[in-house]
Amino acid sequence: MREIVSPLSGIRSPFGQLTSPLAIYAVLGIKPQLVLDFDNEKYFANSARSTFSDALTFARASGATYTDSTGTLQTVSAGVPRRGHHVWDGSAWVNEGLLHESEARTQLLHTTDAMVTQSHTVTAVPHTLHFTGTGTVTLSGASTAGPLVGTGTGEQNRVSLTFTPSAASLTLTVSGTVTDAQLEVGSTPSSYIPNLAGSGTVTRAAETLTIPSANLPWSSSAVSIQMDGRVTASDAAGDIVTTARWFSTSLRRLETYIRYNGAYTGNAASTVYNGASPYVSELSVGNGNISDGILAPFNIALRHTTLTLRGASGGTLFNTVGTPNAGLVDLSEADLNLGYDFMGTIKTFRVWAADLGDTGIEEASA
């Protein structure tokens, strides 16, 4: 059942007047109509209070793990989002909102809670090994990379090693205490997938987040978007992380993404395709202010008008690459895929049916 809350509910100003709860999400005094604040568990759709399940649709066909406020691994069932995921900032566990992994991963190890020496047939593609504990894992056979040495117990001490083996049998020899271990195909580690059995593999399914068109604000003259969180990506893999994809057809869509390859390494960008003849504007900060790595912070914003597609990242306005043509791509009936190709956390996602201007998207992304 939809939660019904008056959009006028909020806090009182010093002068006794009611202040809209959306005011704290405003930029240059302009309030967004859609807010997904996963950090503080506050949701607004069509300028009215909503709930997670009414504001967007979430799907994952398997269970998954996340880290709570004490650094303890928790498990959720299939179809349950991982809200309240915490990240160690060097001194404390900090709430980073929603843990979202659009890519399915398979745990190749068994007896992962307290890993024992074991062998597995692997392919010649990048693999990542990671674990907690004070022990050591030494590789032999298909790879001799490493060894990977533990630094302590607890998720704050998780260590990882990425390597590319030959297509053969890989032996992982354990000495000491190796806990919550994982070996997976990929250039970066993902969330821990337990396999407590003495054999076999376990797969965590991909996650999807969809905001229906009915909840998305739209104007025929302008729309602005902001998103922040942490992203896991590898420059070596040439990743392009699609943070949001507003999709109508293959030639009619608006995307925001982070590039880790080519001339735009480590930059946020945006691309529009409009109609049969592509309307394209690619935008980049130019010097790479978003780093690759494990859960690197990012904050991006963009404004799309009839004549302009412009973005900003970390408070810095994009340089425009390409020549925008007149016309606002019509996405009024299109759903938005949040975290379309994304491994990391999402704290906040905001949408305005308005043009924030260059100053506004600088402020929104700061």
Distance CA 191, CA 69 (A): 16
Give the pLDDT of residue 326.
Answer: 54
| Residues making up the chain, counted from first to last | 366
Give the pLDDT of residue 269.
Answer: 63
User: Are domains 11-57+209-364 and 105-204 of this chain identical in fold?
Assistant: yes
Give the pLDDT of residue 81.
Answer: 98
Domain range 11-57+209-364, CATH architecture: Sandwich (2.60)
Q: Which structure tokens are listed for 139?
A: 């590789």
Q: Which of 346, 26, 36 lies closest to 44 in space, CA to CA? A: 36
Distance CA 201, CA 195 (A): 7
Ordered by start, the domain boundaries in the chain are 11-57+209-364, 105-204
Give the pLDDT of residue 2.
Answer: 33
Low-confidence residues of the chain: pLDDT under 50: 1-11, 13, 15-17, 276, 278-279, 281, 284-287
Q: What is the reported pTM?
A: 0.90
**CA dist list (Å): 60 to 25, 236, 319, 337, 338:** 29, 28, 37, 14, 14
Tally the C-alpha atoms within 13 A of residue 117's C-alpha that lie toward its C-beta: 8
CATH of domain 105-204: 2.60.120
pLDDT digits 0-9 by tens, 294-337: 998 989 888 888 777 788 888 888 776 555 555 677 788 999 99
Rounded to the nearest 10°, the torsion over CA 260, 261, 265, 269 is: -70
Question: With contact defined as beta carbons under 8 Å apart, do 242 and 330 qualify?
Answer: no
